[in-house]
Amino acid sequence: MQIPHGGIAFFDSGIGGLTVLSACEKYFDDGVFYYYGDNKHAPYGNLSPKKIRRYVFRAFKTFQRLRVRAAVLACNTATAVCVEELRKKYDFPIIGAEPAVCTAASKGGKILVLATRATCESERFQTLCKRAQKLFPEADICIRSCEKLAGAIERNLYKNTFDYTAYLPDEYADAVVLGCTHYIYIVEQIKAFYGCPVYHGNEGIARRLFAVTDKKTDKNHKEKPCDEKSRDGRPPKAVFRKNLGRLTTFCKRQVKRQKNVNKRLRLKGQKSLKNDKTSTLFFLGNTRENNEKVYKQMFVNNE
């Protein structure tokens, strides 16, 4: 058995893209998914555009070998820096991650957009905010760089009492937009700190992925209604539907069989999770074990 080709790939600088994966997977009954996390070089927000491009293109070479059906660039910083270059180079659909600035701005008032430094400085992000400001002149869009927040989340994710407010700008806002998928892990703390609605773009990414995937060749699609809770900035729930059963892990009675499978995987070091039907998630990249651990604890065990 070799790692199956033709699945849907997700890339992020670390664990943030798992929140995007969880939002997207609910649109599919089953299928093959790949998650490539580059935690070794995270966070991307303080890196130069040159380095970001190098790391992202390295991951997409892997996606090309897997002949992916579509790829999600589940990193706001990477999207802002190089999504257009990726689309010119590769012939499979690439969905980028963009903050829900327009959705928040349509409500009016002071809109606080929190993002990494690289995202804030990018031309693509600046254009998005200017367009939102022009469309909704009653909104006051304020961009704030949170240079150390993504890194703090990577390091302290399992510390339930960790206070992230020291990394947040202390000012009034009528609404907050999360411009980094890492920030979604602490959405409740952000909502409590600012006392206002919080928006992110994960549901929009999920709908876009469903729309660009060829329904004629994929029998696994199942369109789902929009999740209003997710639109309001609440964190996504478990990745796999409850009626599909919980994902199995590498328990003792499976170790021998799984080792034999792993030897035949085309890409070195691949690990996979399966449910009791046909959905399979392969973790790629230099810190796949860490991302698998976060995935199971945050999106499987908590369902």
Which residues have a catalytic role annotated? Answer: 75, 180
Name which of 42, 62, 61 is nearest 52 in CA terms.
Answer: 42
Residue at 123: amino acid letter:
E
Structure-block tokens of residue 156: 């302290």
Task: For residues 218 and 49, give the distance between their C-alpha atoms in angstroms, rounded to a whole number.
Answer: 36
Look at strands 94-96 and 32-37 and give their pairing. unpaired
- Output phi, psi for 40, to 5 deg: -60, -35
